[in-house]
Amino acid sequence: MAAGRRTVSALLLVVGLVLSVPAVLYGIGLFKVHGRPIPADPARFSAAEISTAWGRCRETVPLTVSPLNPWGYTAKVLSGASDLDSAGAIAAWQVASVHNATNPVGNTGWWKLSGAALTIWITRQWSAEQIGATLVRDNLCRATPNKSLERTRER
């Protein structure tokens, strides 16, 4: 009986540790980010400008953001998903990647982890309108090919 309890306890401990890995990686990724991007004020841009920038990022109108979380993001990566398919995720990734490019976080591994963590953070902290206004303000998802987006597709 005691051996069975130890086995169950050990199994629960292993499951708990495995389930905590995405949260730990998220925390480390955010820790590596230098500062946080500041969202643009949506009132400074027309709805048409914001919608156009949103569409250039391959996001659908109306503007919506589905908040990401470390566990869902990890599941997508482990399943081999090559694209972020949650509403607003591509636009948030654009903001995160530009922030990390202007505030270097280290080598490619750190850049990817910090970019993922910052993307999750943006989808949880910013509204779709703030993300859209930031796309306009920072001229992201331009009509010409965006090199950082192309690089993320190649990885």
Question: How many other CB atoms are there within 10 angstroms of residue 92's CB atom?
Answer: 31
Q: What pLDDT does 153 receive?
A: 42
Q: How many CB atoms neighbour CB 121 within 10 A?
A: 20
Q: How many CB atoms lie within 10 A of CB 14?
A: 10
How far, CA to CA in Å, does 80 sit from each of 1, 74, 75? Answer: 42, 10, 9
pLDDT at residue 143, rounded to an integer: 61
Q: What's the rounded Cα separation, in Å, for the pair 116 and 110? A: 10
Find the angle CA(84)-CA(85)-CA(89) to the nearest 5 degrees: 60
Residues whose CB falls within 8 Å of the CB of residue 90, separated by 6 or more in sequence, listed in order: 57, 58, 59, 83, 84, 149
pLDDT at 146: 44
**Per-residue pLDDT tens listing for the chain (155 residues):** 688 888 888 888 888 888 899 999 999 999 999 999 999 999 999 999 999 999 999 998 889 999 999 999 888 888 877 667 788 999 999 999 999 999 888 888 899 999 999 999 999 999 999 999 999 999 998 764 444 444 444 43
Q: How far apart are CA 15 and CA 19, in angstroms?
A: 6
CB-count burial class (<10 Å; 0-12, 13-18, 19+) for 20: exposed
Alpha helices (H) in the chain, listed in sequence order: 2-32, 47-56, 70-78, 89-102, 108-125, 128-137, 147-154
